[in-house]
């Protein structure tokens, strides 16, 4: 029995509801570039939670350590966007692709590298069934773009030449645990009661929570209203950098005084950030260059399209500090290779050399293996190196003076270590807690290369420091510090194997 005849408007409504339902229930095969990056690590769990199959593109599989719960839904593709041949492993049946790759500060010629990467992925995607590419860029609504933002725009232009629909989201300052911008704000406020700051602190910007960024990226999937458009995304607050610093100080209940000095050049400003915060000089320089330009969102209806109400700056800070207090930092810019000296895959350094090397090897019977493993896995950061920490800090300060990373990077998690993580001025090459082996590679400025390994075998802790010198200066360095190394390395193994 037919109770009523559907009207054209009702039929249209049913079709719209059906299409929306298909958008949200259809499981996609998604290509995720930048899977080991700050945003990629946070977007991946959201995509898997929605039931999608995710192809994670990484340059080095040894650096990709997703939670075990995600493994059934992901496939790892090891490739290099600058190597077209390596991109042939990308399958043709992908539905969506995310472009979250950024080379800022990894090279002096990063603009050329970014453009080439975008061209390569665009050409590969032409032979796939991809319907939409979603790209995260930076806000570029200023006639005088910094080199950093000009590079982002060039990437957008290259991707826009593809045969797919491009959706671009442009964000400014991202607030979240582990983000470079947030960590700089945190370092400045918590370390300096009085700040002598450059005039760019008066520049306006529109910060956004990292959780909102992930929300925009996720909700845009196959939303036709976002096709072939770019959208500026930001929170509801328009603030100067000074107001952001004072807002963080208020959140932490700290009294701070900021004195603006108009004579600070970009170079001096970059060195100021480099020495006070945990950032590298190249990243500090790129950020200072960008901070001279206002990054305020153009008006759009993207919040209505995706039904998103972004968090305020205060709400973003509260959420971020709660994550930090709970030791729930999903990703950090410090674990990116651009935070240190690496320009290649860490797997190339896994085999510790012996020929032509100086080796300090020590063994000690452990009293409590479980406690020893725990101490190894919490080394560095706030815990320090268990012996002669003042000497470690001096070495870190000297490294900063020489243009190195110093000790300020700390560690992302207080008790978890994965391959690729940074621990002070070391990079984790290998970490297996069950095996009881941790291998570190030095990223401090050295006349050579250095490894530090902890390994447990038959209730014995084996600690090995290996140094491969470079020329005469490397050999002089080792012999000059030999007495200090003897004291530090013996004291360290004694404390770890207690």
Which H helix or E strand runs over 399?
Answer: helix 389-401
325 vs 29, more confident: 29
- State pLDDT tens for residues 340-380: 555 556 666 788 999 999 999 999 999 899 999 999 999 99
Asked if the model's pLDDT at residue 19 lies above 60, the reply is no
pLDDT, position 334: 63
Half-sphere exposure of residue 205, counting CA atoms within 13 Å on the CB side?
A: 27
- State pLDDT tens for residues 176-205: 988 888 888 888 888 889 888 777 788 889
Beta strands 422-423 and 426-432 are antiparallel
| Alpha carbon distance 117, 401 (integer Å) | 34
User: Which residues pair with residue 33 across a beta bridge?
Assistant: 57
Asked if the model's pLDDT at residue 23 lies above 50, the reply is no
159 vs 283, more confident: 159
206 vs 288, more confident: 206
pTM exceeds cut of 0.95 = no
Asked if the model's pLDDT at residue 52 lies above 80, the reply is yes
Nearest Cα to 213, choosing from 137, 159, 288? Answer: 137
Residue for token pair 């075990």: 68
Asked if the model's pLDDT at residue 34 lies above 80, the reply is yes
pLDDT, position 345: 62
pLDDT, position 151: 79
- State pLDDT tens for residues 247-301: 999 999 999 998 877 776 767 777 777 777 777 777 777 677 667 777 889 999 9
User: What average pLDDT does the chain have?
Assistant: 85
Q: What is the mean pLDDT of residues 317-346?
A: 70
Helices 241-251/180-191 angle, 10° precision: 70
pLDDT, position 13: 47
**Which range, of 60-74, 229-243, 304-318, averages the lowest pLDDT?**
60-74
Mean pLDDT: which of 28-32, 34-38, 67-71, 113-117 is highest? 28-32
3-state per-residue secondary structure call for 103-172: CCCCCCCHHHHHHHHHHHHHHHHCCCCCCEEEEEEECCCCCCCCHHHHHHHHHHHHHCCCCCEEEEEEEC
pLDDT band at residue 17 using 50, 70 and 90 as cut-offs? very low
- What is the percentage of the chain residues whose pLDDT exceeds 90? 54
- State pLDDT tens for residues 102-111: 765 445 577 7
pLDDT, position 264: 66
């Amino acid at each position: 029995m037919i109770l009523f005849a559907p009207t054209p408007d009702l039929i249209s409504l049913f079709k719209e509801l059906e299409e929306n339902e298909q958008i949200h229930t259809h499981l996609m095969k998604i290509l995720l570039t930048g899977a080991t990056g700050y945003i990629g690590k946070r977007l991946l769990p959201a995509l898997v939670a929605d039931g999608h199959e995710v192809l994670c593109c990484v340059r080095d599989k040894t650096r990709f350590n997703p939670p075990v719960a995600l493994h059934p839904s992901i496939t790892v593709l090891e490739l290099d966007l600058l190597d077209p041949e390596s991109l042939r492993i990308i399958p043709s049946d992908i539905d969506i692709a995310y472009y979250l790759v950024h080379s800022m500060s990894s090279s002096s010629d990063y603009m050329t590298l970014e453009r080439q990467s975008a061209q390569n992925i665009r050409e590969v995607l032409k032979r796939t069934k991809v319907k939409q590419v979603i790209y995260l860029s930076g806000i570029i609504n200023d006639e005088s773009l910094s080199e950093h933002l000009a590079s982002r725009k060039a990437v957008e232009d290259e991707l826009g030449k593809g045969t797919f629909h491009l959706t671009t989201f442009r964000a400014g300052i991202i607030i979240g645990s582990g983000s470079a911008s947030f960590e700089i704000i945190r370092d400045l406020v918590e370390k300096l009661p009085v700040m002598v700051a450059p005039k760019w602190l008066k520049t306006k910007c529109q910060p956004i929570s990292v959780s909102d960024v992930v929300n925009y990226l996720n909700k845009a999937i196959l939303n036709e209203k976002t096709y072939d458009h770019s959208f500026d995304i930001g929170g509801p607050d328009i603030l100067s950098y000074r107001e952001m610093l004072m807002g963080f100080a208020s959140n932490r209940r700290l009294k701070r005084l900021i004195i603006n000095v108009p004579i600070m050049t970009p170079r001096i400003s970059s060195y100021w950030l480099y020495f006070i915060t945990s950032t590298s000089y190249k990243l500090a320089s790129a950020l200072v260059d960008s901070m001279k330009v206002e990054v305020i969102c153009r008006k759009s209806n993207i919040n209505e399209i995706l039904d998103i109400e972004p968090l305020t700056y205060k709400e973003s800070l509260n959420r971020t500090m709660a994550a930090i207090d709970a030791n729930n930092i999903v990703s950090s810019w410090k674990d990116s290779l651009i935070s240190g000296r690496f320009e290649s895959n860490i797997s190339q350094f896994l085999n510790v050399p012996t020929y032509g090397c100086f080796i300090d090897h020590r063994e000690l019977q452990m009293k409590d293996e479980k406690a020893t493993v725990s101490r190894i896995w919490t080394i560095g950061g706030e815990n320090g190196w268990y012996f002669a920490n003042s000497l470690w800090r001096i070495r870190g300060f000297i490294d900063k003076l020489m243009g190195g990373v110093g000790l300020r990077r700390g560690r992302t998690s207080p008790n978890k270590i994965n391959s690729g993580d940074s621990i002070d001025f070391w990079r984790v090459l290998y970490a297996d807690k069950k095996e009881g082996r941790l291998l570190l590679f030095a990223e401090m400025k050295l006349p050579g290369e250095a490894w530090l390994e902890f390994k447990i075998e038959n209730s014995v802790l084996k600690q090995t420091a290996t140094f491969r010198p470079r020329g005469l200066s490397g050999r002089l360095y080792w012999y000059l510090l030999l007495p200090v190394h003897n004291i530090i390395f013996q004291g360290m193994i004694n404390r770890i194997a207690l």
